[in-house]
Amino acid sequence: MDRNFNQWLSTFRSSINSYKYYVDFEKVKENADKVKVELNMLNALVGEQNIEQAFESIVAKYPTVIQCLPILLAVRKNQIYCQDENGAVNYTFAKNKTMTVEQYKYFLRETGLFKMLQTSDIKNLYDYCIGVEVGLDSNARKNRGGHQMEDLLERYIKKTGAQYFKEMKLSEIEKKWDVDLSAISAEGKTEKRWDFVVKTSKQIYVFETNFYTGGGSKLNETARSYKMIAEESKHCEGVTFVWVTDGKGWVSARNNLNETFNVMDNLYNITDLENGVLEKLFR
């Protein structure tokens, strides 16, 4: 039965964010625990009026506390560059302090950390660090988002019970199953890594998948590129190219996607996966 492109496009999702997308709390706790001992030592500075002298005493006894100072500024690096009218300094925060205590005091004074520790309502620096790590972890959402569509597709492939492989190179497929993919590889001149490869008793399915929340020229390039692969793969006996994509970003690039839709039998979205398209495909 012929598919209707506009109807198919209307089922595209605005988001595929999972519950684990927003914050990786296991990673947050793991990062905070790395400096938990040092943070607890620095708790003595909270509300301390003679804070600079107290800091000197702590560093003298426990120099490793220096390594946890960057996280108090929401920085994970062990080097921080600062400059003012007195010059530029590249502060280092190794376990064994490599700078003078006076330099570290200047750093805490000028960044406002001393004042924050003296006057804020913070009661525990470990708890404070947990909050900082949650904020920093939100920056990793883009990386997690990039894998969400792959994870989603993998769940549906697993449900079929078919044998599959992740991130498999074109040359590896040729070698493993003795098939000719030269039509796709430009006679062996180019290498390609597929997101998934499924092997059934009758066919090899090579998968690409992506999700686009926003538009842009990249979508048009992707549609044209996959259209070409779809046409080239028709000359590869025993191999079928499958593209699973979704996302409202395609609305602005609908024309190029429509062209690919018209020539590619195995172009699917999330709704197709939910409706069991892979079970039917692998029969």
Mean pLDDT for 110-134 is 95
Burial class, 239, CB count within 10 angstroms (exposed 0-12 / middle 13-18 / buried 19+): buried
Mean pLDDT for 60-72 is 95
Using a CB cutoff of 8 Å and minimum separation of 24, what contacts does 179-188 make?
179/204, 179/236, 179/237, 179/238, 179/239, 180/236, 180/237, 181/236, 181/239, 183/232, 183/233, 183/235, 183/236, 184/229, 184/232, 184/233, 184/236
pLDDT the model gives residue 191: 86
Question: Structure tokens of 201?
Answer: 């008793």
Q: Indicate whether 99 pLDDT > 80.
A: yes
pLDDT the model gives residue 145: 67
Q: Are 129 and 71 in contact (CB under 8 A)?
A: yes
Q: What is the CA radius of gyration of the chain?
A: 27
* Calpha distance 223→228 (Å, rounded): 9
Closest CA to 227 of 196, 264, 197: 264
Fold of 5-17+141-281: Trna Endonuclease; Chain: A, domain 1 (3.40.1350)
Task: Provide the pLDDT confidence category of residue 5 given band limits of 50, 70 and 90.
Answer: very high
Closest CA to 219 of 266, 264, 243, 253: 253
242 phi-psi bin (left φ>0, alpha ψ -120 to 50, beta other)? beta
Q: Is the dihedral of CA 168, 170, 174, 180 positive or negative?
A: positive
Task: Provide the pLDDT confidence category of residue 95 given band limits of 50, 70 and 90.
Answer: confident
Helices and strands, number each (H, E), in the chain:
14, 7
Q: What is the pTM of this model?
A: 0.73
Mean pLDDT for 154-166 is 97
Residue-averaged pLDDT of the chain: 93
pLDDT the model gives residue 189: 65
CA atoms within 13 A on the CB side of 100: 4
pLDDT the model gives residue 146: 67
Parts of the chain belonging to CATH 3.40.1350: 5-17+141-281
pLDDT the model gives residue 2: 79
pLDDT the model gives residue 83: 96
Q: Indicate whether 200 pLDDT > 80.
A: yes
Tell me phi and psi for residue 167, to 5 degrees. Answer: 45, 65
